[in-house]
Structure 1
């Protein structure tokens, strides 16, 4: 009978650790989803800004200034 009690205690302990780990993983997933949404919003803003700058350059017929060009090491 004692061996069953010990086994039950081990299983309950293991279950408690697994529950804790599952909660930690869930919290990490929530944080990653939040970060992903933020990055997607930033990418959308940058994409919109880039398209706007491209249209302004195309409509004005001006060449990009030296400040807009890539440095020679690129």
Structure 2
């Protein structure tokens, strides 16, 4: 009977550790999703700025990163 009780206690301990791990992984995934959402929004903003810059110039030239180099380079 004692062996069965020890096995049940061991299983309860394992279950508690697994629940803690699942909560920790869930928090990590939620933070990663927030980071991904932020990065996607930043990428959308960059695309918008590139499109606005090319539209404001009235030229059909492709946008170049060289246009963004400060004059002292």
Aligned length: 66
Cα distance in 2 for partners of 1:61, 1:7 equals: 74
Cα distance in 2 for partners of 1:61, 1:53 equals: 11
What residue ranges of structure 1 are gaps of 5+ in the alignment?
none
What residue ranges of structure 2 are gaps of 5+ in the alignment?
none
Q: Which has the higher contact order (CA 8 A, sep 6+)?
A: 2
- Per the normalisation by structure 2, the TM-score is 0.79
**Do residues 68 (structure 1) and 67 (structure 2) align?**
yes
Runs of 4+ in 1 over 4 A off after TM superposition: none
Determine the structure 1 residue equivalent to 2:23: 23
- Per the normalisation by structure 1, the TM-score is 0.78
CA 1:69/1:17 → structure 2, altered by over 3 Å: closer, same or farther?
A: closer
RMSD of aligned residue pairs (Cα, Å): 2.3
Determine the structure 1 residue equivalent to 2:34: 34
